[in-house]
Amino acid sequence: MLLETVFGVAAGIVSSVRLFPQVYKTVKVKKTDDLSFWFLILLFSQALLLIGYGFAKPDVYILSMNIVPLICSCILLELKHAYGTHAKAFCYEQRSHNVLFTLRQKLNAKTPNLKKIFFIHQYNSK
């Protein structure tokens, strides 16, 4: 019985910390393109179901070893939402808006003819 418990606790610890490197990397590089949304949903579901199983079968090891993966999967899902494609599109739109605004200011300061040419070119490129 003791050997069985040691293997179970060791497997639970490894299972609990398996998402730490991914959370660290995601926070560091601020990029989640390589994370599958459905993979994160399955991780969340697995941890939630195993916590329910730990409550149903009063087993402290199963219960405690799945709280950390549940928290990590929630963090990764939130980071996926925060660093997802819609966030990148918003940042790109803000940068392009700032560049256009700066360009317009410079054109207003120099000559009105350049300003007209710029807006005609911008209108024709749409």
- The pLDDT of 71-80, averaged and rounded, is 90
Please work out, in degrees rounded to the nearest 5, the angle formed at the alpha carbon of residue 75 by the alpha carbons of 70 and 76: 100
pLDDT exceeds cutoff 80 at 41? yes
Handedness of CA 123, 93, 84, 35 (dihedral sign): positive
Question: Quick one: pLDDT at residue 106?
Answer: 60
Q: Would the pTM of this model clear 0.75, i.e. be above it? A: no
Tell me the pLDDT band of 95, cut-offs 50, 70 and 90: low
Handedness of CA 88, 89, 90, 93 (dihedral sign): positive
Distance CA 58, CA 96 (A): 57
C-beta atoms surrounding 88 within 10 Å = 13
Give Cβ neighbours of residue 107 (< 8 Å, ≥ 6 apart): 114, 115, 118
Q: Which of 45-49, 81-85, 104-108, 118-122 has the lowest mean pLDDT?
A: 118-122
Distance CA 44, CA 34 (A): 18
Task: Determine contact, residues 19/72, Cβ cutoff 8 Å.
Answer: yes
- The pLDDT of 57-67, averaged and rounded, is 86
- The pLDDT of 118-125, averaged and rounded, is 51
Question: Quick one: pLDDT at residue 45?
Answer: 92
pLDDT exceeds cutoff 50 at 103? yes
Please work out, in degrees rounded to the nearest 5, the angle formed at the alpha carbon of residue 46 by the alpha carbons of 41 and 48: 95
